[in-house]
């Protein structure tokens, strides 16, 4: 729908500029937005939330198209599985990528809902009883210089790679494309900690989303963590939105329970939040 809208409006702009059609008010507004490097309001009406300049927006849109095209065709660029054939010889749908670019989804809440539903079916329980553990991964450099992600055991002696974690934790997924504002993630201690001086935001490492069934007396799933912070995850850094007909927010995605080295009130006063898009980002 978004791509159709872009193609249609650009065709009308080209035809108006060449004199084939009369320059309507809508076409004139679209042209003015394009010249000012703003997202045309006609596009914004059917687009995912964005506060980026038009040039950066289009770069991100091309990346989104490439990500989902590669997923649908079973390509390797996003780490997706091969397209396999079933017993009838027909091609089965390609497997999801090993990593999911959550910032590339038009409606990221649908991804979380799908993971919850799959886990609820597996456990034969209600979807409302399924929550998530959010575990940012640690990185280490291999001998060949390649950067890999995983988690150390509590003792620090054993290392589980990203692939091993996904195999051992059924229904889990690794997502990336999230930044944290007013703080940073300490990979060594696996906690939220003070931001570096002069650095308002930093990338979070890929995050392992592990669904779990909440206990009757523990609706928030506090079992495995000590001090923690319920970090809100927003689509954009505006931190505001509208309630959609589905009941979801147009900007707030969810709250991520992250381990921290201070009481949660400290980070709340700091305004610590996670976002998938910042106005100054160029990627």
Q: What is the CATH number of the domain that holds 194?
A: 3.10.490.20
**Measured between alpha carbons, how far is 43 from 65 in angstroms, rounded to an integer?**
16
pLDDT at residue 103, as a whole number: 92
**Measured between alpha carbons, how far is 273 from 253 in angstroms, rounded to an integer?**
11
Report if residue 5 sits inside a domain. Answer: no
Report if residue 4 sits inside a domain. Answer: no
Report if residue 106 sits inside a domain. Answer: yes
Number of domains within the chain: 1
Report if residue 68 sits inside a domain. Answer: no
Backbone angles phi, psi at 55, to 5 degrees: -60, -45
pLDDT at residue 278, as a whole number: 81
pTM equals 0.84
Read off the DSSP letter of residue 251.
Answer: S
177: left (phi over 0), alpha (psi -120 to 50) or beta: left
pLDDT at residue 78, as a whole number: 47
Report if residue 221 sits inside a domain. Answer: yes
Q: Is 90 exposed, middle or buried (0-12, 13-18, 19+ CB in 10 A)?
A: exposed
The order of strands in the sheet holding 252-259 is 201-203, 179-181, 273-275, 228-234, 252-259
Residue pLDDT tens, the chain, 283 long: 899 999 999 999 999 999 999 999 999 999 999 999 999 999 999 999 888 999 999 999 999 999 999 888 876 544 444 434 445 555 666 677 778 999 999 989 999 999 999 999 999 999 999 999 999 999 888 777 788 899 887 666 788 889 999 998 888 999 999 999 999 999 988 999 999 999 999 999 999 999 999 876 554 544 455 689 999 999 998 888 788 777 788 889 999 999 998 999 999 999 999 999 887 665 5
pLDDT at residue 248, as a whole number: 81
109: left (phi over 0), alpha (psi -120 to 50) or beta: alpha
pLDDT at residue 157, as a whole number: 72
The domain in which residue 255 lies consists of 98-283
Report if residue 265 sits inside a domain. Answer: yes
Report if residue 259 sits inside a domain. Answer: yes
**Residue found by looking up tokens 């079916």 in the block:** 121
Report if residue 224 sits inside a domain. Answer: yes
Element (H, E) at 108: helix 108-123
């Amino acid at each position: 729908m978004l791509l159709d809208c872009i193609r249609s409006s650009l065709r009308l702009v080209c035809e108006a500029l060449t004199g084939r059609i009369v320059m309507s008010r809508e076409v004139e507004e679209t042209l003015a937005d394009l010249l000012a490097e703003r997202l045309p309001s006609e596009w914004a009406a059917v687009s995912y939330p964005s506060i980026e300049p038009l040039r950066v927006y289009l770069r991100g849109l091309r990346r989104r198209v490439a990500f989902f095209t590669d997923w649908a065709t079973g390509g390797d660029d996003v780490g997706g599985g091969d397209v396999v054939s079933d017993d009838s010889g027909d091609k089965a749908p390609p497997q999801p990528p090993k990593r999911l670019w959550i910032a590339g989804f038009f409606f990221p809440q649908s991804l979380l809902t799908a993971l919850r539903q799959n886990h609820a079916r597996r456990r034969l329980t209600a979807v409302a009883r399924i929550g998530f553990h959010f575990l940012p991964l640690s990185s280490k450099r291999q001998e060949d210089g390649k950067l890999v992600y995983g988690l150390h055991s509590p003792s620090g002696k054993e290392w589980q790679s990203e692939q091993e974690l996904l195999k051992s934790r059924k229904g889990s997924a690794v997502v990336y494309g999230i930044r944290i504002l007013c703080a940073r993630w300490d990979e060594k201690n696996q906690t939220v900690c003070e931001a570096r001086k002069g650095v308002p935001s930093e990338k979070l490492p890929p995050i392992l989303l592990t669904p779990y069934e909440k206990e009757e007396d523990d609706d928030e799933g506090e079992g495995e963590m000590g001090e923690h912070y319920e970090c809100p995850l927003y689509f954009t850094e505006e931190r505001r939105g509208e309630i959609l007909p589905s009941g979801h927010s147009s900007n707030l995605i969810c709250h991520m329970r992250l381990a921290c080295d201070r009481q949660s009130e400290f980070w709340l006063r700091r305004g610590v939040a996670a976002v998938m898009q910042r106005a100054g980002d160029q990627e």
